[in-house]
Structure 1
Amino acid sequence: MTRFGKTSKLVAAALGGALVLSACGGGNGDDDDNTSDESQSGGGGTVILAYEQEVYSWNPTAADANAAANSIPTYWVTTGFWYFGENGVVTANDEFGSYEKVSDDPLIVEYTINENAVWSDGTPIDCDDVLLHWSQQGGYLGWGASGYAGMEDVKLPDCEPGDKEFTYEYRKPFADWESVASGQGNNAMMPAHVVAEQGGLTPEELVEIIKGVDWEDPDAREAGAEEANEQLADAIEFFTTGWLIEGGLPDAAHIPSSGPFTFGEYQPGESLTLVPNENYWGEAPNADEVIIRYIEQNEQAQALQNGEVDIIAPQPSPDLKAQLEAMDGVEVSVFDQYIYEHVTLNFDSGPFAESPELREAFLLCLPRETIVENLIRPVDEDAQVLNSTVMQAFEPGYDELISGSLPSEYSEQDIDAARQILEDNDAVGTTIELRTLDNPRRNQQGQLIADACTEAGFEVDFEAHGDFFEGDGAMYNNRFHAAMFAWQGSSLVSGWNSTYRTPSECSASDKGNNSGCYSNEDMDRMLDEVLRITDEGERNEMLSDISAHLWENGVVAPLFSHPGMAAWSEDVENIVPNPAQSDIVWNMPEWQRSS
Structure 2
Amino acid sequence: MSKRKLLATAGIAVASALAFSACTPATPTAPAGTAGTSAAPTGPTALSVAWNQAFYSRNSDTDYGNATANANILYLTNDSIGYYDQDLEIAQNSSFGKYEKVSDDPLKVKITLADTATWSDGTPVTAADAVLLWGAVSTNFNTVESDAVKTDENTGEVSGVEGDNVYFNAASPGYTLVKDFPEISADGKEITYTWSEPFVDWEILAMSPVGVPAHVVAKRALQTADAEAGEQAIIDAFKNNDRASLAKIAKVWNNDFNFKSTPSDEELLVGSGPYVISELVEEQYLTVEKNPNYKGMRAPKIDKLTVRIIPDAQASVQALQNGEVAVTQPQSTADILQQLQALAPNVETLTQSGGTYEHVDLVFNNGGPFDPKSYGGDAEKARKVRQAFLQTLPRQRIIDNIIKPLNPEATVRNTFNVVPGSPEYDATAEANGMEATYGGGSNVDKAKELLAEAGVTNPTVRMLFAQNNTRRQQEFQLIKETAEQAGFTIVDASSTDWGQLLSTNDVYDASLFGWQSTALGVSQVPPNYLSDGQNNYGGYSNAQVDKLLNELNTTTDTARQGEIVKEVEKILVEDAFGLTIFQFPEITGIDTTKVKGVSSIPLSPTFFWNFWEWETVA
TM-score tier after normalising by the smaller chain length: 0.7 to 0.9
Higher RCO (Cα < 8 Å, 6 or more apart): 1
Alignment partner of 1:396 is 2:423? yes
In the other structure, the counterpart of 1:347 is 364
Q: Once the two structures are superposed, what CA deviation does each residue of 1:340-396 show, in whole Å capped at 9, x if it has no partner? A: 111110011111011001011011111011111111111112211111111111322
Q: Which amino acid aligns with 1:375?
A: I
Q: Once the two structures are superposed, what CA deviation does each residue of 1:180-234 show, in whole Å capped at 9, x if it has no partner? A: 1252xxx752100000110124332221120114xxxxxxxxxxxxxx3432222
In the other structure, the counterpart of 1:589 is 612
The separation in 1 between residues aligned to 2:305 and 2:172, in whole angstroms, is: 31
Contact 2:464 2:511 survives alignment (8 Å): yes
In the other structure, the counterpart of 1:40 is none
Offset of residue 256 of structure 1: 1.2
The separation in 1 between residues aligned to 2:2 and 2:456, in whole angstroms, is: 33
The separation in 2 between residues aligned to 1:72 and 1:211, in whole angstroms, is: 32
Q: Secondary structure at the match of 1:332?
A: strand
Match of 1:174 among 171, 176, 199: 199
Offset of residue 539 of structure 1: 1.3
Offset of residue 475 of structure 1: 4.9
When residues 278 and 60 of structure 1 are mapped into structure 2, their CA distance, relative to the original with a 3 A threshold, is same
In the other structure, the counterpart of 1:112 is 112
Q: Once the two structures are superposed, what CA deviation does each residue of 1:397-450 show, in whole Å capped at 9, x if it has no partner? A: 101111111242222322211111112223231111111112100000011000
Q: Once the two structures are superposed, what CA deviation does each residue of 1:225-256 show, in whole Å capped at 9, x if it has no partner? A: xxx34322222221111112144335112321
Alignment partner of 1:331 is 2:331? no
Alignment partner of 1:265 is 2:279? yes
| Matched ranges for 1:180-199 at <5 A | 180-181=205-206, 183=208, 188-199=210-221
| Matched ranges for 1:434-449 at <5 A | 434-438=463-467, 439-449=469-479
The separation in 2 between residues aligned to 1:238 and 1:557, in whole angstroms, is: 37
The separation in 1 between residues aligned to 2:199 and 2:569, in whole angstroms, is: 21
The separation in 2 between residues aligned to 1:321 and 1:330, in whole angstroms, is: 12
Worse overlay, 248-257 or 477-486: 248-257
In the other structure, the counterpart of 2:96 is 96
The separation in 1 between residues aligned to 2:207 and 2:121, in whole angstroms, is: 20
Q: Secondary structure at the match of 1:469?
A: helix
Alignment partner of 1:203 is 2:231? yes
In the other structure, the counterpart of 1:5 is 6
Q: Secondary structure at the match of 2:317?
A: helix
Offset of residue 85 of structure 1: 2.7
The separation in 2 between residues aligned to 1:205 and 1:44, in whole angstroms, is: 44
When residues 210 and 554 of structure 1 are mapped into structure 2, their CA distance, relative to the original with a 3 A threshold, is same
Offset of residue 70 of structure 1: 1.1
In the other structure, the counterpart of 2:253 is 239
With normalisation by structure 1, the TM-score equals: 0.87
In the other structure, the counterpart of 1:286 is 301
In the other structure, the counterpart of 1:26 is none
With normalisation by structure 2, the TM-score equals: 0.84
Contact 2:391 2:447 survives alignment (8 Å): yes
Alignment partner of 1:372 is 2:399? yes
Contact 2:130 2:210 survives alignment (8 Å): no
The separation in 2 between residues aligned to 1:209 and 1:144, in whole angstroms, is: 14
The separation in 1 between residues aligned to 2:7 and 2:61, in whole angstroms, is: 8
The separation in 2 between residues aligned to 1:250 and 1:10, in whole angstroms, is: 32
Q: Once the two structures are superposed, what CA deviation does each residue of 1:139-161 show, in whole Å capped at 9, x if it has no partner? A: 22345354414111124211167
Q: Once the two structures are superposed, what CA deviation does each residue of 1:51-103 show, in whole Å capped at 9, x if it has no partner? A: 12111111111111111121111112122222233244433322210111222
Match of 2:564 among 535, 542, 547: 542
Q: Secondary structure at the match of 2:357?
A: strand
The separation in 2 between residues aligned to 1:147 and 1:195, in whole angstroms, is: 19
The separation in 1 between residues aligned to 2:575 and 2:202, in whole angstroms, is: 30
Q: Once the two structures are superposed, what CA deviation does each residue of 1:245-273 show, in whole Å capped at 9, x if it has no partner? A: 14433511232120111111223332111
Q: Once the two structures are superposed, what CA deviation does each residue of 1:546-571 show, in whole Å capped at 9, x if it has no partner? A: 11111110112111111111111012
Contact 2:465 2:472 survives alignment (8 Å): yes
How many residue pairs match? The answer is 544
Alignment partner of 1:524 is 2:546? yes
Contact 1:342 1:557 survives alignment (8 Å): yes
In the other structure, the counterpart of 1:38 is none
Offset of residue 527 of structure 1: 0.8
When residues 188 and 581 of structure 1 are mapped into structure 2, their CA distance, relative to the original with a 3 A threshold, is farther
Offset of residue 104 of structure 1: 1.8
Worse overlay, 363-372 or 491-500: 491-500
Alignment partner of 1:502 is 2:531? yes
Contact 1:9 1:149 survives alignment (8 Å): no
The separation in 1 between residues aligned to 2:101 and 2:296, in whole angstroms, is: 24
The separation in 1 between residues aligned to 2:405 and 2:2, in whole angstroms, is: 22
Q: Secondary structure at the match of 2:465?
A: strand
The separation in 2 between residues aligned to 1:257 and 1:106, in whole angstroms, is: 33
Where in structure 2 are there 5+ consecutive unaligned residues?
20-42, 143-166, 225-229, 373-381
Offset of residue 2 of structure 1: 11
The separation in 2 between residues aligned to 1:330 and 1:493, in whole angstroms, is: 37
Match of 2:310 among 281, 291, 295: 295
Q: Once the two structures are superposed, what CA deviation does each residue of 1:262-292 show, in whole Å capped at 9, x if it has no partner? A: 1112233321111111101113211111110
Q: Once the two structures are superposed, what CA deviation does each residue of 1:19-68 show, in whole Å capped at 9, x if it has no partner? A: xxxxxxxxxxxxxxxxxxxxxxxx95222111121111111111111111
Q: Secondary structure at the match of 2:429?
A: helix
When residues 481 and 321 of structure 1 are mapped into structure 2, their CA distance, relative to the original with a 3 A threshold, is same
When residues 147 and 380 of structure 1 are mapped into structure 2, their CA distance, relative to the original with a 3 A threshold, is farther
In the other structure, the counterpart of 2:156 is none
The separation in 2 between residues aligned to 1:188 and 1:71, in whole angstroms, is: 14
In the other structure, the counterpart of 2:496 is 466
When residues 388 and 145 of structure 1 are mapped into structure 2, their CA distance, relative to the original with a 3 A threshold, is farther
Offset of residue 327 of structure 1: 0.9
Match of 2:449 among 399, 403, 420: 420
Q: Which amino acid aligns with 2:359?
A: H
The separation in 2 between residues aligned to 1:190 and 1:161, in whole angstroms, is: 22
The separation in 1 between residues aligned to 2:424 and 2:169, in whole angstroms, is: 31
In the other structure, the counterpart of 1:319 is 335
Where in structure 1 are there 5+ consecutive unaligned residues?
18-42, 214-227, 504-510
Match of 1:159 among 162, 184, 194: 184
The separation in 1 between residues aligned to 2:525 and 2:320, in whole angstroms, is: 34
Q: Once the two structures are superposed, what CA deviation does each residue of 1:501-525 show, in whole Å capped at 9, x if it has no partner? A: 112xxxxxxx631111111111111
